[in-house]
Structure 1
Amino acid sequence: MIYRQGNNYHFFLSTADSVARFQTSIYPFYPVPKKKIPELPSVTTDPILFPQFLYCLQYNRQNLDPKPVFTPTYMGNKKIQKDQETKPKTGFSPLSTTIGGTRNSPFFLYRGKRDKFQSAKYLSLRDIIHPELSESLVREKIESLYFDPKSKTFLFRLVSILFSGTPKEEETIVSNLFRHESEFANFLNKQMFTVEMIPLIHGSFLQEILRDHDERYIKYILPQLSKPVLEVVRSSISKNKMKHILEGPSQKPPESEDLVTVIETELFKRFARNIYYEEGSIFTYREKGEEERKEEIPFVNAEKFNFFIFGNSLQFYGRTSTKLFFKTNDWIDVLRFDFFLSRKEMETTEFHRLPPDLLIEIPYYQTGIFLVGGGITKERKPFEFSLLWFDY
């Protein structure tokens, strides 16, 4: 099963051969400013998780509304345990709890550096082009599009990628493009989500938009469309309806409701793929290493900290006055931390492709109220966790 619903997160256990397709809307349960919450892709070949307390999910003909954060009962509290603590979700391990950190006083660790992974969104030709079209026919279609010469060159390269390998190979190539060719990456991430891509899209995508769009707004925008796009719009509307539109009134639509904006927004929502690529680096630690990398970490007592996890892929290692340390127990493809500074403010940290026995650090805010998170292992097993330091 590709989808799992945890207590706090949605998990999609996707791969290059098991693509996840879903729709989300930014809809925070708490008064977190929407502008601080990123839009999510609608297609991903990498495992992905995202909070139920920030997004509404449409998947498999279901609408899953946002919900409040779940945290287990703080140890020492006499409250009755919640059902989520005693009855784990399907696909998740039972809840385990540890009090305090592995290290509660200064200790020597060995510092290292790892590549940092960033995520981006792009439009794959694999998702929009009719699967029976040949490479030469696709190139002919691209030649007729209203793109500048450089953009067409990028599109032709994408066609070569599409027809030269498997989905996994495409993913690897595109990831390298994001890492090494910033201009091409900008095209993939920004310029491909434009109305000029419409002539390439196979299926009923445009018909669905035109069916519900105000006819007065359609007439208003027609003179502004390029010839290839206009031809597709005309062919997507019945002759009688087009005659009715042309003979009817025209009206300038409200901002962000014009046909071009609606098409480009829906293009992103329907076809944006997620991709991870290496950029920059992060500091990590291990318990063994070379002497010159040895460094004393000023761990302090963490006896008031309760770490709860549905699984055993991560452990709370300890804290300093400004950092929280965690240790991986498995290969982890994606790991997310959401630190709530208040009900209105949170800090998110993500890691990707971590090996076992690695120590990672995230910022610790002493005035914060709790931390929740989740991850997906290399074996596509989801897990969730919480860190509490007082009875919230």
Structure 2
Amino acid sequence: MDFDYTSEQQDLRDAVAKLGKRYGHEYFVRKAKAGEHSDELWDEAARLGYLGVSVPEEFGGGGGGITELAIVCEELAAAGAPLLLLVVSPAIAATIVNRHGTAAQRARWLPGFADGTRKVCFAITEPDAGSNFHKLSTVARRDGDDYVITGRKVYISGVDECSQVVVVARMADERTGKLKPALFMVPTDAPGLTLSKLDMEIVSPENQFLLFFDEVRVPATNLIGEDPEAGLPALFSGLNPERITVAAMACGTARYALERASTYTATRSVWGRPIGSHQGVAHPMAHAHIQVELARLMVAKAAALYDAGRDLEAGVNANMAKYASAEASALAVDTAIQAHGGNGMTTEYGVATLLGATRAGRIAPVSREMILNFVAQHLMGQEKSY
């Protein structure tokens, strides 16, 4: 067993941390409250090669894996400036294209992922389907040399920043007539595709949208893999990196919150002593720190399994990593706010601004309850409860 990162991975972590600190949480909050995007951070991270670390070298990427991408996600979040589009574009969309796209699709799309010029969002969630993707109502049908897509998607991140969206639709199997998943690369300016921004109580430069597909037509070459049979494997190949990078981002956010709290409590004096010298303050922070470190181990394990091609084990561990990190992040932010007292609720001290995102992390991209269902059923042999 080896718990050390390689020298290249450690160098990547140090370099991304340095970049993140040059921007920081104040930049992140300022952009979010102004209704602007974190374009400067994205562009510089792209120029330095951090966005394409998991893209194969032949397409201009770093040739690494989800481990390297998780490092980038975590360290930017640890600096207080997470990039949610790192999850939906390089982690989900680029991985799907790389693992299941045709040779032509990989050559066409992966270079843009590698240099950060291509931002692609991901659309699976629907208003009525909830966690049951088998009941997706968005459908696609073949019409000559095109596919025509109709349906709705909700809570789709960053559509206004992206040139394309990977859409999960259902398509009739020619042999059985049953509907099964298929994934399409759809331009965000395609005729018939309209978006409605959702008002969210989350401080973030990335926006959430409701999408409407009204007979949206895309060429058959935009069916990822160009084979309807590729839909389900392609879908899962993107969901596991999503869970891992979301988990890494949550760990980074937790580290940021606890760093702010420990700095504050070590220097804030009441009754002649730093408040951190009191166990009632120090113990909750120490407890949260331990939970975060345990979650980070789970993220590293899940990423290593995924990069080793052990997809079944990676899926199980990605779910557990996502659960552990979301719980640890919510605990860390709540603890940091409490340690600051009234100051914890101000924008100036930079911890209350994390509340919405960390709370959402216990819901999305998969809820804690569905992960518990998964573990109970698949790891503990319990009967399916839903």
TM-score of Structure 1 vs Structure 2, range by shorter chain: under 0.3
Give the number of the structure whose residues are more often helix, by fraction: 2
Q: Which has the higher contact order (CA 8 A, sep 6+)?
A: 1
Larger Rg: 1
Q: TM-score, normalised by structure 2?
A: 0.28
